Chains A and B, each alone.
Chain A
Amino acid sequence: MSTLWTRNETLVALVIVAFCGLAALSDPGFLSVATLTDLLRGGIVLGIFAVGALIVLISGGIDVSFTAIAAVTMYVTAMVLNALMPWMPWWAALLIGMGIGACLGAINGFLIAVMGLPTLIVTLGTLSVFRGFMLTFIGQKQITTLPPGMREFGRMMIVRGENADGSFYSLHAAFLVTAGAIVLTWFILHRTMLGRQIFAIGGSVESARRIGINVRGVQFFVYVYVGALAGLAGIIHASMARVANPFDLVGLELSVIAAVVLGGARLAGGHGTLTGTVLGVALIVLVRNSLIVLGIPATWQSVAIGVLILIGTGLPAWQAKRAAAQAA
């Protein structure tokens, strides 16, 4: 029982419930299907990013370059498809995006797994390089006419409806992609030996080496996988926004990592759950979308998110410290 209460997941879930309760009190219309679909829509891209960030954190690393990978991927894909293969269907665009993302992730993987460089330094570097390279050599102009496949995907909805007050709500089909990414990642982490090796490396790299885990291979996989997810998120972002803006996405990376840490993943590696990650993303999207309902100005968003991170990660750490002091 006591472990349930000290878990980040529980804490984050309680904060979400409290937040919704407060919002419902100040605006009875808050608890509606429209709020829910807005929330789910807001979590689509963030969710895919977060799943990637989670798997890196579990492996004991950190990746801040995924937003740049996503931005480069969406821009390059849109440009190439427009110029060469406008007939490509939407699902091919997603696959091409994953492919480009995986290739960029492989650069991280090479530097980290093969060269053995520190993950934060490498991904800080590639964050800058990927984005700078795109802006310098590929283009800075928004692509407002997306290839037909991406446009078609941008219009795909799984639910569409009208509220009692006449406003519309809808849920984008990309939500299913995010759900799929979560399920696939869960399967990899918990049902494959590869996933257990990712946890093992996050727990202790030296021990992993000693029992014969191919540490380099596993790390390489992690960064390629994260790259592929980031590429996917990039295509989805552009399709939903109906524009490929090269200045988008970069800057989100720390919010994403914050969401994952809020959900209980440890920066030191080896720990983290998908439930926690999903809750962390939900809370951050909720704060972004709905703080205004509570009558708090939008500029306070970042303050609120920062405070949530401090409380959400500080409280369990403080509890653990107190428990350790009791045991000493």
Chain B
Amino acid sequence: MTTDLVTFDHVTKTYSGITALDSVGFSIAAGEAVCLAGENGSGKSTLIKILAGVEQPDRGVISIAGQPQDALNPRLSAAAGIKVIFQDFSLFPNLSVAENIAFSAELGHGTRLVHRARIADTARATLARIGVDIPLTAAVETLSVAHKQLVAICRALATEARLIIMDEPTTALTEREVRVLLDIIRRLKADGVAVLFVSHKLAEVLEVCEKVIVLRNGQKVAEGPAADFDAASLTRHMTGRDVAEAPPAPLRADAPELMRVEGLNKAGAFEDVSFTLHAGEVLGVSGLLGSGRTALAKALFGLVAPERGRITLDGRSVPLGDPLAAAGAGIGYVPEDRLTEGLFLTQSILQNISVGRLDAHGASGILDIGGLLAEARDWLKRLSVKAPDPDAPVRSLSGGNQQRVVLARWMARSPRVLVLNGPSVGVDVGSKAEIHGIIAGLSAQGLGVIVISDDLPEVLATCHRILVMKAGRLIEDIPSGQVSGTDLAHRLAS
């Protein structure tokens, strides 16, 4: 029997009275891929930090290669071959691919001068090891997210790596990029490198994993061979309840037409896009990254100016390329990247909701702050945002609650059409189901909702109709009841 690479035995960690990890035990063998699943706050991050040597456990024993470690620190952990790839990759955007890959290895050599040939060799060898070709001299800031992740993997491999921990590895990747990642994981496993996936979106990586461990509220609630789990059972273990994804209630046959898009054209992004949206309809637009879906979403709200085409809402024409006019006409847009495009992170939750209603409460020229904030509080309640303190910065909320704040801001303006770009990117499973519930509620009130997403189960669970986008064109218009997830994935990628 081979000794396990890493074992946790009754590891407990508390932060000022709150138990983050409660007597958790598991083991990882060399060449094994393990899924560590859990919602936000389940103790995943604490577990990573303990493995990386950043935090010390209060009780319990961690062994690496059979040796109990009583005082792990980041340097010892890295020297033992434990490499964490953080969600933000921790790369240097201004440096070249080669330098990023070889930086830690070079630091390890302890030389004072730059050995350019050795750096290039290290980078070339590790890229070859995972079978990827990225130009060595390219600046990392010019790479796609998927390539940045590959560079981060290479950097972990450039020094002796025995266990690679990947934090939320698939959130920013398209389906095709996930395939590439999985192939690389298979290669690493064949080399004897163990991989620990840490995520709340794990269905995609199950197929390369041997073992699944589920954490909830700091406790291990399930562990077993990956073959015993599927997306539904993972979700059940993570949330402790059944989160059923039922298809949406059927659209009323007499629903009037709400919005019409005709011949929308933007060179290099999308071509000749036409569709209609009915009141109460949830319309999915799905396509791979680069299919033009994001540009289309932005164009509907005037953030991208199309050269040609027409958007009409209730029979009235909406000016193109003018977000204020689009908002005035009753269109709302929830961006994909909440953090940079959707929220004023350091401002309070109430301010974030009320900012869209300044005009309505300031008609006399003097702002009615009381009314403004009362309205915001009301929306906070109606969308059940879990905010202990509405005056706290919005940054302090979880992903799911942040998304609700963005939704609340738009809802307060009583829009006719909401464009949701990636509505549940980066939120956990439980919140995701609730956001889907909110979408269903909006549609029941007669709003038209456009969901732009490459999360196919999400599109299937929320939309009445799915438009498939490819290379800038809408190529198919499918009622969602008539297509399965795998079928849809095939149509997107084919």
Contact = CB atoms under 8 A, between A and B. Distances in A.
Interface of A: 190-196, 199-200, 202-204, 206-208, 210-213, 270-271, 326, 328
Interface of B: 74-75, 78, 86, 90-95, 99, 103-104, 106-107, 111-114, 155, 268-269, 294-295, 298, 304
B112 A192 contact: yes
A191 B106 CA distance: 13
A208 B91 CA distance: 8
A211 B99 contact: no
A210 B268 CA distance: 39
A27 B269 CA distance: 52
A199 B95 contact: yes
B294 A193 contact: no
Contact of B90 (A191, A194, A207): A207
Contact of A204 (B74, B78, B92): B92
Given A207-B90, A212-B104, A328 B294 contact: yes
A212 B113 contact: no
Given A199-B92, A211-B103, A328-B295, 4 more contacts: A193-B111, A199-B94, A212-B74, A270-B92
B113 A203 contact: no
Contact of A270 (B94, B155, B294): B94
Nearest to B110: A193
Nearest to B140: A203
By Cβ-Cβ distance, the 7 closest A-B pairs, closest first, are A270-B94, A203-B92, A207-B90, A203-B94, A211-B104, A210-B90, A200-B92
A206 B90 contact: yes
12 contacts: A191-B114, A192-B114, A195-B114, A196-B95, A196-B99, A196-B114, A199-B92, A204-B90, A212-B74, A270-B94, A326-B268, A328-B304
Contacts of B155: 211
B295 A213 contact: no
Contacts of B294: 328
Contacts of B74: 212
Contact of B95 (A203, A210, A328): A203
Contact of B106 (A190, A193, A199, A271): A193
Contacts, number: 62
A208 B94 CA distance: 12
Nearest to B91: A207
A204 B93 contact: yes
A191 B155 CA distance: 21
A193 B269 contact: no
A270 B91 CA distance: 12
A93 B103 CA distance: 39
A194 B112 contact: yes
B407 to A, nearest CB: 23
A191 B92 contact: no
A14 B294 CA distance: 38
A270 B114 CA distance: 18
B103 A200 contact: yes
B104 A200 contact: no
A194 B269 CA distance: 43
Contact of B75 (A193, A195, A203, A212): A212
A197 to B, nearest CB: 8
B311 to A, nearest CB: 18
B93 A203 contact: yes
A270 B298 contact: no
A211 B298 contact: no
A190 B114 contact: yes
Given A211-B107, A326-B268, A193 B114 contact: yes
Given A211-B107, A212-B78, A271 B114 contact: no
Nearest to A204: B92
B114 A202 contact: no
Nearest to A195: B114
A190 B114 CA distance: 8
A58 B295 CA distance: 34
A208 B155 CA distance: 13
Contact of A196 (B93, B103, B268): B103
Interface centre among A191, A196, A202 (most CB of B within 10 A): A196
Contacts of A328: 269, 294-295, 298, 304
B288 to A, nearest CB: 16
Contacts of A194: 112
Given A191-B113, A192-B114, A193-B113, A213 B95 contact: no
Given A192-B114, A196-B103, A210 B86 contact: yes
A211 B114 contact: no
Nearest to B111: A193
A320 B104 CA distance: 31
A105 to B, nearest CB: 21
B228 to A, nearest CB: 35
Interface centre among A199, A206, A211, A326 (most CB of B within 10 A): A211
A210 B295 CA distance: 35
Nearest to A207: B90
Contacts of A199: 92, 94-95
Contacts of A326: 268
Contacts of A195: 114
B107 A213 contact: yes
A270 to B, nearest CB: 4
A156 B298 CA distance: 65
Nearest to A194: B112
B295 A193 contact: no
B106 to A, nearest CB: 6
Nearest to A58: B94
Nearest to B114: A191
Nearest to A200: B92
A196 B112 CA distance: 10
A189 to B, nearest CB: 10
A210 B91 CA distance: 10
Contacts of B103: 196, 200, 211
Interface centre among A202, A204, A207 (most CB of B within 10 A): A207
A194 to B, nearest CB: 7
B146 to A, nearest CB: 16
Nearest to B75: A212
Nearest to B92: A203
B94 A271 contact: yes
Contacts of B107: 193, 211-213
A270 B99 CA distance: 14
A212 B103 CA distance: 10
B97 to A, nearest CB: 13
A192 B113 contact: yes
Interface centre among B113, B294, B295 (most CB of A within 10 A): B113
Contacts of A206: 90
A203 B95 CA distance: 8
B135 to A, nearest CB: 13
